[in-house]
Amino acid sequence: MSIIYPMGLLAIFTLLYSSILITGRKKAVQEGDVKASYFKEHNNGTPPSYMQKATRQWANLYEVPVLFYAVCITILALKLDDMIFVYMGYIFFSLRLVQAFIHTTYNHIYHRLLIFFCGMVTVLAMWVRLLLMV
């Protein structure tokens, strides 16, 4: 087992999530909720909620996960990959899946916040553990 697997799964999930974003945008244009010109500068109208949630979640997949990718690459580069880091990686990946599900479905703010916080703590723990090992 290697930390590259949860890291790769998160990257694949992020890329696959793009299809939800594209599908929502296509639906919004087809149903007349926004004009295609909205996507030129994102300031010509108000997109529907389902499109806003998907867009925001997609952006979330490029925020905190950057710190996850950075710690994983550092772990690999320093050859410090072990099962504890692998488990932490899978925990973070799983939390991101749950957060995306919550965000794009029932969107309960406290549930989403709890999952987000747990993900932040996981990445923080990975960084702290890495720094203690070098």
Q: Give 30's pLDDT tier (boundaries 50, 70, 90).
A: very high
Q: What is the pLDDT of residue 39?
A: 82
Q: What is the pTM of this model?
A: 0.88
Q: What CA–CA distance (Å, rounded) separates 124 from 130?
A: 10
- Which CATH number is associated with domain 4-133? 1.20.120.550
Which ranges of the chain would DSSP assign to H, the alpha helix? 4-30, 38-41, 49-60, 64-77, 83-104, 109-133
pLDDT tens for 70-122 read: 999 999 999 999 999 999 999 999 999 999 999 989 999 999 999 999 999 99
Average pLDDT in the chain: 93
Higher pLDDT, 38 or 106: 106
Of residues 34 and 44, the one with the higher pLDDT is 34
Domain ranges in the chain are: 4-133
- pLDDT at position 117, please? 97
